[in-house]
Structure 1
Amino acid sequence: MSRQGNSISRHPLAAAVLTGLLLTSATVFAQDNAATNLDRVTVTGSLIPQTEIENHTPVLTVTAEDIQTRGFTSISEVLQQSSLTTGGLQGGQTAASFTQGAEAAGMFGLDPGYTKYLINGRPMLQYPALYNGSDAFNNLSGIPIDIVERIEILPGGQSSLYGSDAIAGVVNIILKERMDGGVLNVRGGATTEGGGNNIRVSGARGFNSADDRFNALVNVQYEKSNPIWGYQRDLTRTNNRVGYSAQVPANDFLVYLPADNNAFVMMDPTRCASVAGQFGGTTVLGTRAAGESCGSAYGAGYRTLKNDKESSQFYSSMTFDVNDNFTLFADALYSLEEVKYTPGSGYTFWGSDLSFGAFYDQDTDQYMNLQRAFAPEDIGPNGYKDILNTDRNKAYQVTLGGRGTFGNWDYSASFSRGEYKLTERGFVRWADDIDSYFENRVLGPVLGTTDDGYHIYSPNWGAFYSQLPAGDFQTFTGYTYNQSKTWQNLGRFQLTNGSLFTLPGGDAGFAVVAEAGSEGWDYRPDERLMDGSVWGTTSVAGNGHRSNYAVTSELRLPLIDSLTVTGSGRYDAYKIADNTVDKATYSVGVEFRPIESLLFRGKYGTAFRAPTLPDAFQGESGYYANGAVDYYRCGQLGYAPADTLACPYGNESVFGVQAGNTELEPITADVWNAGVVWAPMNNLSVSVDYYNWKIDNEVDTLSSDQLLRAEYYCRNGQGNPTSASCENVADWITRDAAGNIEQIFTPKLNVARQNLQALTASFKYVQDIGRFGSLQFASNYTNILKRELQPQPGDDYLDLLRDPYAMWYYDAYAKVRTDGSVGWAKDRWTTTLYFNYIGKTPNYMSYLGESFDYVHPSGYKAGKWGSYTTYNLSVNYRALDNLTLSLMVNNVFNKMPDGQAHSYAGNIASPYNSSIYNPYGRAVYVQAKYDFGTKTN
């Protein structure tokens, strides 16, 4: 934290907020709650040191004490439980997500990549793998939580200060800079339902020279967490027990007839008795409307709900005062992490449909397909524990620099270098080996070929309906290794004057920043994933780099005692392949204080997100667009685009290719906020703020339908309302000599837009209760007032708050989120009760019926899943002056999302919205912190 020498007498508005922040500390909690003077400080949201804690931009601060007393176990958990996180997220709790080994967070339901993440004010490295398979984002799991000083969360568009990605807001994770003495922290715990055992050990030590010119801090942290398995929770142990339809086992041994609407047929003369030992002896005969199959309802439990994780971090910060006016500084952060997980039997199977299309059984005179899931008994003694996927991360970030003063000017210059490497060891089935195995063992020799080209077999049903012999599973399975990395270089120079000139309201402040750097992304999947060697799994590839420079300036003008205006502007330029993308952004903020205890604030600005490296350089991947309308050929027959029902080219199957696009324009946004902060007393503060976003040019792929419509308009000389130009159309649609579509190309384009409105509120109150100690109350609230999205040009806007189908498709947002705490401190004891509230979200039936009014034939009604509140409780006891013992219970009442299960069918393995809720249940942790005379700044 930067500090200047100027101070002021007690100000009710500033003192109330500062008191609310400081009194979360046990050592301060029982002291006098009045702040008598304030130094100028630099907080996230401004480049200029100032005396006001609250200004034109709201900042939510989570201190190290908050992290401890509220029971947070990681940086990602701090941010995911924030009231600002109203949208769903992919990660370790979501089976088979694209980045299951990473931990993400976002704000206001916007994608994680719309939030700018900083460590000590410098941009974090992006994760090499892609969120949802296509987007760049930051993995928050490699930051040592025990050395965090505070986390400052800045909602709203902030590109005029922080550049690209700061559309939803900015998160600045500030690590400790100095320590006099040392500290050792040991923490362990587990969940009461089983699994998730955790141990974390961290140590930090400060080193200071006798003359205090040299200071260094070194921190090392190690953590090991065991996984939570599906079979360790009643909700996920089996397929849904309490759904709107009866529970049914999975189709682990399935024979179905493609010529008969995929009807199931039982070919086992023992009617599943021969495989009854699978999945722990739970495989039975299952009956559905489509027919009979053999399977287990307990196969759902053989997947990880929470990753196995082992991580180590090293962090060091150093300063050296060359003289009274100049200081050298450096910091380094290194992280090594290994994460293991499996999506389970639902994703570990073989099917003839993907391998052969179908085959002809000469004994029954029918076309057939087979499906065979693999049980733990097929795999070996340890079952799914032996075939875990492993993500291994190695990352470092180093900064060297100097800062000093001359006259009224402060300056700093720094250079940062970072690199993030990821190795993904993925369990796979080899295509040729697994197909050959089932051909040889089950289907037998090819007995001929049908007139339409399908192989004829006489299957050995006894071999199909049986456990695999020991060791056979390993003959057709193995691992692939994806190698990927990101890197970043950034040079930065800042010049600041907190007293540029004097105005009636005080000193004007000015800052200017110049930045230049480069960054790269390189994702190289195992070649076997790309050439068809792997059964049922593929990947994407890509690599590229970009260089950039930026200039930022900020001017703070206290026009009169009650009115301050702050303006900032920034120019960014990116060199991406042969394309230069540049963007100027600005903001104007106003602070009006009619009385000391009341602040009215507002800000208007612009924000942007530059084309990310994956958006620009992601490699090609194929897909099929079924049911496509060839509007051009229909037009040749006289059919208009709105009337193609009878057109013979109205239901085509078209092969498409998707890829990145080096000619993308930046995503842009107009953002404004307005609010009020009231602090009638030094120990009370209330704030309310409104935010409004209009976001344009969002990146998505143009739909095949949009592209084919564009071709119709272009070839007929009509106005083209889509984002694809007529030149694009000519390049992106390939036809053969007869006019048939051979291929369409749908790269990423700037096609979508959305409007978002939100209301936030914050409350802090501290009360001294005399000999009974002190009480503290704090709460934060977010209400999404409007969220509408236009996926493609010309489309109707989707209401993401009221259209249940759209809400589920885009992660099923919670309209309202609240969190808060009640703390009590007396003498050597502090106790905190923290709550986290998630408002109503649509149930799954509303998604299936595409309406809140839908009623399923079973009688179950669509609607909303009620509000969801969990509580954390912590007790801290200072046993000695330098020893603190802590007990933390997270999710005290063992709250589970089991009430959602009624809106899911009986064949669903995860009957709840896993992007928002989890079934981890209650966790208990104990901690001992030994302080070797530590004082921190």
Structure 2
Amino acid sequence: MQTNYRPLRIALALAAAFPVYSHAQEAERVEITGSHIRVSQKEGAAAVQVISAKDLRDSGKTSVAEVLRAISANSGNSYNEQYTGSFSAGTSGLSLRGIGQKNTLILVNGKRVSSYATAQNTQEVFVDLNSLPLAAVQRIEVLKDGASSVYGSDAVAGVVNIILAREFQGSELSVQAGSSVTGTGQTEQSALFQTGRGKLAEDGYSLVFSVDAQKRGKLQQSDVSWLRDADFRSQQNGTLAWVPTNYLGTDPTRWLGNAQGPLQVLPYGAITPGKSGNVLAYNPAPYKTLIPGIERVHTALSGKLKINDDTEAYADWLWGYSRADQTFSAPLTVSSSLRAWNNGTQSLETIPVILPPGNPSNPGTTPLAFTSTLFDLGPRMKTDRVTFYRALAGIKGYNAGWDWDLSAGQSASVMVETVLNFVNRYAFQQVLADGSYNFANQAQNTEEARNRLRLSTRRPADAGLSTIDFSATKELLQLPAGPLGFAGGVQWRRESMNSQTSTAVLSGTELRPAINIINGQRDVSALFAEFSVPLTKNLSANVAGRYDHYSDFGNAFSPKLAIRYQAADWLLLRGTVSRGFRAPSFPEITCSTTVSYGGVLDPRDPVSPNQPRGVTNITIANPALQPEHSDNLNLGVVIAPDQNTSIGIDYYQITQKGVIGTESADTIISNEFSVPGKVLRDEQGRITTLYRQYRNQGNREVAGFDIDIRHRQNLQQWGTLKLSGQLSYVLRFAEPLTTGAALTNGVGTNYFGSIPRLRGVSSAGWESGDWQHALIWSYTGGYRQTTAQNEHVDAWSTWDLTTTRKINATTSVSLVVQNLLNRKPSWDSSTSFFDITQGDPRGRFVSVRLNHKF
């Protein structure tokens, strides 16, 4: 039914697509993200989306991550706190153009910050947006073009530059509190404070300090009305997603004991169509955290000191603390696939799950294989605590016609993860042997026996970054059409990552261990140059090149050519051609092995072929990897029919070569018999393990266009109306399904993560007297679900409203409503219920904000 409305929805999105950003209004020459040379034009040769401090307030969002993830160019394959099964739980990243968080470079005040302490999805090294401050943000610039020629690795899809205030007069406090109004019980409180004094030009110094804090309650699946029963049989390809357990041998209808704790007796066919008999099963909803409970504090301190008329010193300090609490999973289920880590052989070894004769759960005379969930130990819980900082100091000045800047910085992300109610392998083997734990009737177990089985562990990880940057710019000479601008510089940085696992895992004590050991360090040195060449009065070119040397794999060179043509006062034509690269990340290239867990749909599963099956993924690094290279093309036009209206249309094309990755689980399972050794099954015939290794797999081709439109209308006595928005339309997103295969276009599917063809964001702002209103509509297009026949995931859209009343000259109060119409994310049977990279389960959320300046 959705297909019938697709043309109408595209037309509505196009009609409503007005850009979220406003162009820089400064007449003086300023440095725009993507170039080291200052310019005076409002529009450059590349598309830069600017999110102002007012845009941040109007959005009603309470973190940098929420603001950035709402832009239309964040089209897929990016994760936030909803990814609770991650080694990087509680984090948020950004994936411009859908090609992964590792291909989007995040800067603060134009400088790099440390990546998160460990990798997302065991592979992606990224900057955690949840570690960055909100209160001090002056604006955010999003360069939607490759920028390796300026910034080096990771800028393949674009750059996000979070610019913090360097001068601020007075103090400002904002507090916000809200809760769900849909019965989930989730609440959130936040506060922002900023103060500053001094103006560099007048006082010879400036100092700005800010702090923001946020606290949000945990949201469980059982808190959400349409998810709490885990019964999705009314949905296309949906099932009763209860979990059969507590049975003997390989037949779930041979019960181990009777209904106890959360177990209920259900027809086997209700869970797996076509099966007969009854099983013991439980509802997984109470054990699933959709959004962790969080506590965060960020501080930022910035200062500038005038040394003389031509020289100034500056320093920045960023610090953040974040805590995320979640229910990691249901209590451990022991079965024939139970294993522990053998550090000597660097492999998993199977732990027998056999009830010996004489065990209270085995009244017979022969050993019995069994499956049992240890409910009386309690759900497995996880807490991640992260500390982040960046200290940066520099000096810049003007001498002999040169503007120069020298800085040095140190940044780090330190994470400690603790878990509760995991299971001790040696205690488990002991209770099996001596019969001191009753698996069939857990109510008979003593607390002493339970405590022997319970295991708590601690996993540390940290990442570090040291930098030295020097750059200088000058107008070298006067050409007939204007000055020839030059910028050049050198950079050095040291990157490191040391992600470990717990001693309980290394000793083989923890059952069903997850491992993501990464230990690497490298030095990167770079030399870059850039020229701004005026060819005619209205035509200019920018030529740039950067040479990077990595101590672990070698060199990379990244050139760029950009053209800007002001064809008329109302018409700008622009384009860039560039090459980019991404260096292999530490988990990809260091000598490391990752043990992770995920869900697959296995059509040959003898128990539940229509439900996701939990499996172990063992992924091996590859020291022989080469960097990914990209060819980037961007062409654009900006039309300004009058001073209150502008229309921008930009086409982008990215071709990546030597993309690093592993084959998908679906591909490995489909080719199980032609490529033996990658799939391991137990005696029931159920998949237990998939084996993978990183490699330069092949090419990726991505193309599409963005439409940005803005309009401002003076309504006279009725105030001012501003319409703004953006539309991103993906034409192509193609990768090989297997190494060496032809490219498959995954646009509008979830072949390579869900990649909707269309994303649109539009807003209407109305200011009149003491009132301000902002209405924002976000639209995400549907896509085809590739692992289920004829399933189409519906489009999803939400409305957000912020209404502000100015009480007096210094105080205002706002009403903020997120998801005004209480829209549910769209059903996707390839996930548990919906794709967490596209949807949000929170429903309507209402907050009140008070702002005061003094």
Q: TM-score range by the shorter chain?
A: 0.7 to 0.9
Judging changes above 3 Å, is the alpha-carbon distance between structure 1 residues 613 and 190 closer, same or farther for their aligned structure 2 residues? same
Contact 1:257–1:264 (CA<8 Å) still a contact in 2?
A: no
Judging changes above 3 Å, is the alpha-carbon distance between structure 1 residues 463 and 574 closer, same or farther for their aligned structure 2 residues? same
Partner of 1:484: 461
Partner of 2:213: 222
User: Which deviates more from structure 2 when the two are superposed, residues 163-172 or residues 221-230?
Assistant: 221-230
1:528 is paired with a residue whose SS is: helix
Partner of 2:92: 103
Pairing partner for 1:917 from 821, 839, 852: 839
Judging changes above 3 Å, is the alpha-carbon distance between structure 1 residues 205 and 244 closer, same or farther for their aligned structure 2 residues? closer
User: 1:190 offset after TM fit, Å?
Assistant: 1.5
TM-score w.r.t. length of structure 2:
0.85
User: 1:614 offset after TM fit, Å?
Assistant: 2.3
Contact 1:254–1:264 (CA<8 Å) still a contact in 2?
A: no
Contact 1:608–1:668 (CA<8 Å) still a contact in 2?
A: yes
User: 1:407 offset after TM fit, Å?
Assistant: 3.9
Pairing partner for 1:524 from 500, 525, 546: 500
- Establish whether residue 570 from structure 1 lines up as the match of residue 555 from structure 2: no
Listed one character per residue, the Cα deviations across residues 448-502 of structure 1 (whole Å, up to 9, x for unaligned) are xxxxxxxxxxxx77536x57555643331222111111111111111112x3322
Partner of 1:826: 768
Contact 1:689–1:759 (CA<8 Å) still a contact in 2?
A: yes
Name the one with the larger helix percent: 1
Judging changes above 3 Å, is the alpha-carbon distance between structure 1 residues 227 and 20 closer, same or farther for their aligned structure 2 residues? closer
User: 1:701 offset after TM fit, Å?
Assistant: 4.7
Partner of 1:254: 246
Pairing partner for 2:481 from 493, 505, 512: 505
User: 1:663 offset after TM fit, Å?
Assistant: 3.5
Which residue identity is paired with 2:335? G
Written as runs of structure 1 = structure 2, the 5 A alignment for 1:871-886 is: 871-886=799-814
User: 1:267 offset after TM fit, Å?
Assistant: 4.8
Judging changes above 3 Å, is the alpha-carbon distance between structure 1 residues 432 and 106 closer, same or farther for their aligned structure 2 residues? same
- Establish whether residue 295 from structure 1 lines up as the match of residue 272 from structure 2: no
- Establish whether residue 181 from structure 1 lines up as the match of residue 170 from structure 2: yes
Pairing partner for 2:779 from 826, 833, 837: 837
Pairing partner for 1:305 from 280, 290, 312: 290
Listed one character per residue, the Cα deviations across residues 832-870 of structure 1 (whole Å, up to 9, x for unaligned) are 001110001224xx423xxxxx3xxxxxxx232222110
Written as runs of structure 1 = structure 2, the 5 A alignment for 1:343-382 is: 343-345=328-330, 348-354=332-338, 355-356=351-352, 368-375=368-375, 378-379=376-377
Contact 1:182–1:206 (CA<8 Å) still a contact in 2?
A: yes
Contact 1:414–1:491 (CA<8 Å) still a contact in 2?
A: yes
- Establish whether residue 889 from structure 1 lines up as the match of residue 817 from structure 2: yes
Listed one character per residue, the Cα deviations across residues 174-218 of structure 1 (whole Å, up to 9, x for unaligned) are 111111111111111122232431111222211328951011111
User: 1:366 offset after TM fit, Å?
Assistant: 8.5
Contact 1:84–1:107 (CA<8 Å) still a contact in 2?
A: yes
Listed one character per residue, the Cα deviations across residues 266-293 of structure 1 (whole Å, up to 9, x for unaligned) are 354xx53xx2xx24xx734443315422
Partner of 2:192: 202
Which residue identity is paired with 1:371? T
Q: Distance in 1 between matches of 2:37 and 2:268?
A: 70
Q: Distance in 1 between matches of 2:98 and 2:412?
A: 29
Listed one character per residue, the Cα deviations across residues 281-333 of structure 1 (whole Å, up to 9, x for unaligned) are x7344433154222333x31332211111111121000000111000000100
Q: Distance in 1 between matches of 2:716 and 2:171?
A: 33
Partner of 2:326: 341
Partner of 1:4: none
Partner of 1:124: 113
Listed one character per residue, the Cα deviations across residues 625-646 of structure 1 (whole Å, up to 9, x for unaligned) are xxxxxxxxxxxxxxxxxxxxxx
Partner of 1:666: 627
TM-score w.r.t. length of structure 1:
0.78
Contact 2:703–2:730 (CA<8 Å) still a contact in 1?
A: yes
Which residue identity is paired with 1:225? R
Written as runs of structure 1 = structure 2, the 5 A alignment for 1:833-872 is: 833-843=775-785, 846-848=786-788, 854=789, 862-872=790-800
Identity %: 23
Contact 1:703–1:746 (CA<8 Å) still a contact in 2?
A: no
Unaligned runs of 5+ in 2: 1-17, 270-274, 339-350, 598-615, 669-674, 679-689
1:473 is paired with a residue whose SS is: helix
User: 1:141 offset after TM fit, Å?
Assistant: 0.2
Contact 1:335–1:395 (CA<8 Å) still a contact in 2?
A: yes
Partner of 2:531: 555
Contact 2:118–2:463 (CA<8 Å) still a contact in 1?
A: no
Contact 1:416–1:489 (CA<8 Å) still a contact in 2?
A: yes
1:606 is paired with a residue whose SS is: strand
User: 1:912 offset after TM fit, Å?
Assistant: 1.8
Which residue identity is paired with 1:421? V
Q: Distance in 2 between matches of 1:608 and 1:301?
A: 44
Q: Distance in 2 between matches of 1:790 and 1:19?
A: 35
Pairing partner for 1:436 from 405, 418, 430: 430
Judging changes above 3 Å, is the alpha-carbon distance between structure 1 residues 584 and 471 closer, same or farther for their aligned structure 2 residues? same
Which residue identity is paired with 1:750? N
Partner of 1:815: 757
Which residue identity is paired with 1:295? A
User: 1:700 offset after TM fit, Å?
Assistant: 2.6
Contact 1:540–1:618 (CA<8 Å) still a contact in 2?
A: no
Listed one character per residue, the Cα deviations across residues 553-592 of structure 1 (whole Å, up to 9, x for unaligned) are 111112112211111111111112xx4x111111101111
Judging changes above 3 Å, is the alpha-carbon distance between structure 1 residues 405 and 224 closer, same or farther for their aligned structure 2 residues? same
Contact 1:442–1:461 (CA<8 Å) still a contact in 2?
A: no
Listed one character per residue, the Cα deviations across residues 97-139 of structure 1 (whole Å, up to 9, x for unaligned) are 2322211121111110011110110112111111111221111
Contact 2:735–2:744 (CA<8 Å) still a contact in 1?
A: yes
Contact 1:616–1:663 (CA<8 Å) still a contact in 2?
A: yes
Which residue identity is paired with 1:294? L
Judging changes above 3 Å, is the alpha-carbon distance between structure 1 residues 366 and 603 closer, same or farther for their aligned structure 2 residues? farther
Contact 2:221–2:288 (CA<8 Å) still a contact in 1?
A: yes
Judging changes above 3 Å, is the alpha-carbon distance between structure 1 residues 109 and 478 closer, same or farther for their aligned structure 2 residues? same
RMSD over aligned Cα atoms? 3.1
Judging changes above 3 Å, is the alpha-carbon distance between structure 1 residues 703 and 307 closer, same or farther for their aligned structure 2 residues? closer
Contact 1:416–1:491 (CA<8 Å) still a contact in 2?
A: yes
User: Which deviates more from structure 2 when the two are superposed, residues 393-402 or residues 423-432?
Assistant: 423-432
Which residue identity is paired with 2:247? V
User: 1:365 offset after TM fit, Å?
Assistant: 8.9
Q: Distance in 1 between matches of 2:76 and 2:238?
A: 31
